[in-house]
Structures are given as structure tokens and as C-alpha cells.
Amino acid sequence: MAGEAVVPWEAAREAAWGLGVRCLAVVGHVELREAIGATLAADLIALVGVPAYDAAAMDGYAVAGRGPWLVRGRVLAGVTERPGDLRPGEAVEIATGAPVPGGTEAVVPYEAALTEEAGGPADDAIAGAAGGGAVTRVRGEIEPGRHVRRSGEDTEPGASVLAEGAVVTPVAVGLAASLGHDTLPVRRPKVGILVSGDEITDTGLPVPGQVRDAIGPMLPGLVAWAGGEAVGGGRVRDTFADMMSALRASADAGADVIAVCGASSKGPADHLRDALATLGATPVVDGVACRPGHPQLLAHLGEPSSPGPVIVGLPGNPNAALVAGVTLLVPLVAALAGRPGPDPVGGLPTRLPVEGEVRPHHRDTRLIAVRVADGTVARPVGHDRPGSLRGAAMADAFAVIPPGWRGPSARLVWLPM
């Protein structure tokens, strides 16, 4: 893979987003619980109305006409047959959620109802029809339509309630269930994560010469935030053969994206570029003019007209890897997922004044960790070294500081919360 010219930060991010738009992840139909965090691949349509039938909104008495009303039965929630129609002057005792009989004008809640034992020839006839028991008369004030939820008054059958591209939240899953869905069509790109480096250890306290892996535990959450799913992957030793084998295994496992951590530089133990060249990968970005995170790359297998798995190379320093992640990986995955933009967090300010000491670089864009105060100003938190996640862990966002920046405002790239 021949080295490409280092690209500006903005252009690199746009390239990642554009490549993802070209390579939209396939649509999968998944059960509701499995859909949370994915992106709707089609509008969510109501298969039934809400409510699905005329229902009582309170416990009490469904009444017809003017009172007083003679109670001629009881209707509980869960009945599947519609009760018989009411005639004027009649009522049924009813539970919240139960279907109201035809002719119901309103529901009188228990607390607003006055009941008394009824008598007389007409009442006796009702008592006989009810099995010989006592007959109750109900009195109360009504407002037509009060405490009755009419079929489809909230949502009519066939209505579109969520647009394609919406993130499936727990609430959206509940809504889909209420509208009659058992599965949802979603896009959720699969991301294989490969962490390279013979010095990396996964558990315990590292001994001299070892480093705890901070990137591998961080990336699945970043991927999920962008609308993807971390699958497979694992550790890769610092050999060309191991890198080739890991890339092929991830591609064969159906990964849409392969994120390779710690082999994107050009040192003697960094074999990603040679492996991609051997596989005939098409380079898109090779080096980004930003700090930290300069040695990052973007390429894809397959033909330019029909790209295969996309490979994102991330630096081995954790903070540099995070910067590269929000530069290339997040917009790529968001686009593959069919989301409307490269930033998963919507509704937050995209630009704010930055207060505090900020030193722009003369050539590269700097991404500095900031806290956002009252939604009006961003303040640097420090601890921005490439190898430390301390600043980013305390931050709300990265402030994007281009070369020659003079303030006072800067673009914000928000971090997962």
C-alpha cells in the first residue's frame, strides 16, 4: 500500500463518512431486544392503532345516555370479545383498559360515582337477565367522551411514527412492541477489533516492558455509540504473518469494518501497511494532519465500485487512538449504519467559545479535551498527552483547534456519555 499524502483533519473525516455512505451495511431483521442501539433501516409503521380498540381510561362505569344508569354487567381488561351495546340509561362496571361497549358516551370513575340499589319492574327485569342478583343504579356527572380512549386516537394503523435512520432506543423498542412488531429492520455494521503489540497485556499489573491494553476495552463502546457492533477480533502478534492471518479471518467472519490498533505507524513492528498492500487494498487516507493521532489510515478491500471490508488503522497510544476513532472510525460506522450525520450526539452545540490556554499547532489540527459549562463555554481539562486517557475521561468533547486558530470559538466533537 503506497503512502498517500497526509490529509487535513476535516477532509479525513469527510472521506470516512463518504466511504461509509457508499458501503451501507446490509439490513438485518432482529428481535426487539436485539435492536437497541441499532439504526432503523425503514420507517417504523404502526401495524395496529393505539389504542387498538375503544377502551376505558379509568376504573368505573361505562355509561350511555343521561343518568341515572342501571348497571347490567361488568367488563374486565383482557376480554377478547366486544361486549354488547349499551342502550341509553344503561351502564357496565368497567376496568381500565377494558373494551367499552358500543353506545358508551363516557366512563364515570368510581370516585365520581354514586351507587344505590335499584328497584321497580324495569329494574327487576334487568336483575332477572343478570341472573337474579341485586341491581345497582349509578349516578354522576359526565362529559361526553370523558375517560374513553377511542381506537387510533393516538396512532392510526399505517401511520409512520419513527423515520428511517432513527436510533433504536429502549423506548423505541417499547413503541414498536405496542404497534404490533416482533422484529425490526435495522442496520448495525459489524466491527472486528484487532489489537497488535507484543508488549500488550490484558489483565493485572503490567511488569516493566509491558503495557495494559486500554484501547481494546474502549473501542466496543465507541463502536456501539456510533451504531455498530464489535464482533470477533482479538490480539495480534507483531509479525507480518499474524497480521495477514488476522485481517483475513476478520474479513471471512463478515466484518464490515476492521479496526486495527497499534500498527498504523511505520516502525519495524508495524505491518499493517504491508499487509494491506499484499491484499490489494485501496487506500483512502494515509496519515492525518492532527495531534494527537497523526498515524491513522483508512483503506478498503474489494473493488472501488464495490468496496469490501473497510480497514481503519489506529495509533497504539490510547488518546491518539481515541482521536483517530472520532476522526475516522465513528463517522465511518455512523454512515454504514445509515445515521443522518457523522456525530452520534444530536441536539448539542457544535461550536462554542473556548476559555483557557490553548496553543494551536503551526501545521496540524489539535483536538483538545474540554468540559462544557452550562452549554455556553468549553474549557480545556488538560492531560492531553497521546498516551493518557485521563483528560478525555473528564471531558465532554474534543475542541477542534485548526492551525493558526485565534478563537474565541471552536468546533466541538462530542464524546460518548
- Three-state secondary structure of the chain: CCCCCCEEHHHHHHHHHHHHHHCCCCCEEEEHHHHCCCEECCCEECCCCECCCCEECCCEEEECCCCCEEEEEEECCCCCCCCCCCCCCEEEEECCCCECCCCCCEEEEHHHCEEEECCCHHHHHHHHHCCCCCCEEEECCCCCCCCEECCCCCECCCCEEECCCCECCHHHHHHHHHCCCCEEEEECCEEEEEEECCCEECCCCCCCCCEECCHHHHHHHHHHHCCCEEEEEEEECCCHHHHHHHHHHHHHCCCCEEEEECCCCCCCCCCHHHHHHHCCCEEEEECEEEECCCCCEEEEEEECCEEEEEEEEECCCHHHHHHHHHHHHHHHHHHHCCCCCCCCCCCCCCEEEECCCCCCCCCCEEEEEEEEECCCEEEECCCCCCCCCHHHHHCCEEEEECCCCCCCEEEEEECCC
Residue limits of CATH 2.40.340 in the chain: 351-414
Average pLDDT over residues 144-151: 94
In the structure, what pLDDT confidence band is assigned to residue 28 with cuts at 50, 70 and 90?
very high
- The residue that leads in pLDDT, 102 or 305, is 102
With a cut of 70, say whether residue 19 has pLDDT above it: yes
178 within 8 A of 51, measured Cβ to Cβ: no
Tens digit of each residue's pLDDT (9 = 90 or more) over 40-92: 999 999 999 999 999 999 999 999 999 899 999 999 998 888 789 999 999 99
In the structure, what pLDDT confidence band is assigned to residue 220 with cuts at 50, 70 and 90?
very high
- The residue that leads in pLDDT, 405 or 417, is 405
Q: What is the pLDDT of residue 303?
A: 78
* Nearest alpha carbon to residue 13 among 224, 298, 291, 259: 298
- CATH code, 30-47+159-187: 3.90.105.10
Q: What is the pLDDT of residue 123?
A: 52
Mean pLDDT of the chain: 91
Tens digit of each residue's pLDDT (9 = 90 or more) over 159-209: 999 999 999 999 999 999 999 999 999 999 999 999 998 888 989 998 998
Q: What is the pLDDT of residue 119?
A: 62
Cell of residue 185, nine digits = 429492520
- Backbone φ and ψ for 374, nearest 5 degrees, come out as 55, 20
With a cut of 70, say whether residue 312 has pLDDT above it: yes
Average the pLDDT over each of 80-94, 108-122, 296-310, 402-416 and give the range with the smallest value.
Answer: 108-122
Residue limits of CATH 3.40.980.10 in the chain: 7-25+188-337
With a cut of 80, say whether residue 237 has pLDDT above it: yes
Query: From 3.40.50, 2.40.340, 1.10.8, 3.10.620, which CATH number describes the 351-414 domain?
Result: 2.40.340
- Backbone φ and ψ for 219, nearest 5 degrees, come out as -65, -40
Q: What is the pLDDT of residue 130?
A: 44
351 within 8 A of 410, measured Cβ to Cβ: yes
Q: What is the pLDDT of residue 3?
A: 45
Cis? peptide before 206, omega within 30° of 0? no
Q: What is the pLDDT of residue 132?
A: 45
Residue limits of CATH 2.170.190.11 in the chain: 55-149
CATH 2.60.40.1730 fits 55-149, yes or no: no
- The conformational region for residue 120 under phi > 0 = left, psi -120 to 50 = alpha, else beta, is left
- The residue that leads in pLDDT, 155 or 347, is 155
With a cut of 50, say whether residue 113 has pLDDT above it: yes
Cell of residue 178, nine digits = 405496542
Average pLDDT over residues 309-320: 95
In the structure, what pLDDT confidence band is assigned to residue 124 with cuts at 50, 70 and 90?
low
Q: Is the pTM of this model over 0.75?
A: yes
With a cut of 90, say whether residue 25 has pLDDT above it: no
73 within 8 A of 95, measured Cβ to Cβ: no
- CATH code, 7-25+188-337: 3.40.980.10
Distance CA 279, CA 174 (A): 45
Percent residues over pLDDT 70 in the chain: 94
